[in-house]
Structure 1
């Protein structure tokens, strides 16, 4: 019997290897479709950065800042529920922390707004770390209720601190004397850059070994632990990262609206928006929150003048998507296509097809 290794080494250089007797599986991640989609998405970002600010009104730019904040909120909540398996209904706690931290850093400390926003995100992460040791003692529905209770505690404590304005809230004075056009343009470009950074950061995280471990934790915590995955550390990482993202969005909201009040910045409507964005767009995908945020923002712009009917329509859309498209709008439209490829696919080469040697990593 001949040695296959010897036969392979005896093939003359430059000649095509023999056809395999059976299909050979190959593993790929992404492909031409993902590259094309990524190029289209890059073009959209470039248009938003260099064209849109000069062809729309200041009111539209301020509205787009809210869209970017919705993308950040949806993307980071998807980290919690879609990848970490933790359904939190209290992320408004960190939206409020980010808003108040931004104003305190910009007005009381004198930090420039471009530095105060990421610092507010770090403050949200710093508060989320010890809080995680409390809420992680709960599971399932108790965890969801516990996070909401934590958010209410944050709101009540904020209202009792006179230095934070009590029930009246705070106004941002760091932009006092700044031209309105310059202020809105700065906030718009800064929010766009922050949104891109959050989405790309989430994509890189989910491509890493940490992301693989998070997916395993979401599917089966016990099995993941038996395979050596650090379950508690992974869940805490996701909770802290998701809370930091909510704080970043809260800081952007305060930067755009020039003020915060406990009733608005700690409103559960922020978490309701996150849930709508992720569930309707497609939970457990990076693309889903992008689609859901655009839909939520568009419905808000069109239907907000209708008052309570606006909420009725939102609820109807959510119910329809859950019933007709359980994987969300992205799963319904794109099928298995990934604009942000985070998983590998196995392809089998047909028997008799020539084998093309692969080089590099």
Structure 2
């Protein structure tokens, strides 16, 4: 007797899900024409947090690098962009690219420090390094010291003569960066390195037993994320029009919220950061008037999701789907019968 298939267990459900993803991307392309300046600003923040969540998910979900200091590289990118644009007088687009390079350069010594640690010690160590960098930024008088400094008017007008033009420029840069981050990370996960990362996600000991160089793969993942974080810091500075240690190196905005997004969305998946970012922005905008209760409710939601499904909302949805919407994994090739 054949068992009936559960609801949404046919490939049609995957087709619908992928069509929704495609429709979402088309909507992002039309945002400047459809939304107000406030809507463009919110969507820019959405894209920035989505990229940060993707990078943290790659580290924690696949490479088992649970860092609590991701905001360090966001701040480094923000200050590097300010320095190249305002102090050195370079082109804004060149300054953005150089901000990513500076973040990558800082990633080497930071990695040498925190990779001597493991598990909870690595998390605490990454946080200490980030806080040290934030305090160091507060000593830079050229950047306004502890109170920070705003971008001068000529620098602001270099990426948009009008407010609407500036908002659109920053939005397109954020969309380009998010799309590039997803495309390149997808390519990484589809490569031989990605096979090793998937094996590490499922079982670190098993991955090592089949020949995956776990340490080298962790190094690659860590250095892979740093330029994207630095570029995100530059985009954030273009949007906020200033740098300051508490804002540019904000552990709440660029690490705590990002961890919340990855956890409720689903760690160790490509769909998780997308779902988590959507849910986070919905909750944030809905609870904006509740003050401190906003953080209490966000914490309660994350605990509830973990208790119901440790793999997050995507893990819950995945129970009813025959495959992933974004297929980063590899299926074994069928062998002919002998």
Per the alignment, residue 100 of structure 2 pairs with 121
How does 1:242-257 map onto structure 2 within 5 Å? Answer: 242-257=225-240
**Higher relative contact order, chain-length normalized (CA < 8 Å, sep 6+):** 1
Structure 2: 5+ residue runs without aligned partners?
1-10
RMSD: 2.2
Per the alignment, residue 24 of structure 2 pairs with 44
How does 1:153-168 map onto structure 2 within 5 Å? Answer: 153-168=132-147
What's the CA shift for 1:37? 4.0
Could you tell me how far apart the structure 2 residues matched to 1:37 and 1:220 are? 28
Return the TM-score normalized by structure 1: 0.82
Return the TM-score normalized by structure 2: 0.88
CA 1:226–1:57 in 2, change beyond 3 Å: closer, same or farther? same
Matched, 1:206 2:185: no
- 8 A contact 1:34–1:340 mirrored in 2: no
How does 1:1-361 map onto structure 2 within 5 Å? Answer: 37-50=17-30, 52-173=31-152, 174-176=155-157, 178-269=161-252, 270-335=254-319, 336=321, 337-345=323-331
1:289-332 deviation digits (Å, cap 9, x = unpaired)? 01101111221222122110111111111011011121111111
CA 1:226–1:55 in 2, change beyond 3 Å: closer, same or farther? closer
Q: What SS does the corresponding residue of 1:87 show, helix, strand or coil?
A: coil
CA 1:151–1:106 in 2, change beyond 3 Å: closer, same or farther? same
Could you tell me how far apart the structure 2 residues matched to 1:55 and 1:90 are? 36
Could you tell me how far apart the structure 2 residues matched to 1:249 and 1:216 are? 29
What's the CA shift for 1:64? 0.9
Q: What SS does the corresponding residue of 1:175 show, helix, strand or coil?
A: helix
Q: What SS does the corresponding residue of 1:339 show, helix, strand or coil?
A: coil
Higher share in helix: 2
Between the two proteins, the alignment pairs up a number of residues equal to: 319
Could you tell me how far apart the structure 2 residues matched to 1:220 and 1:118 are? 36
Structure 1: 5+ residue runs without aligned partners?
1-30, 350-354, 356-361
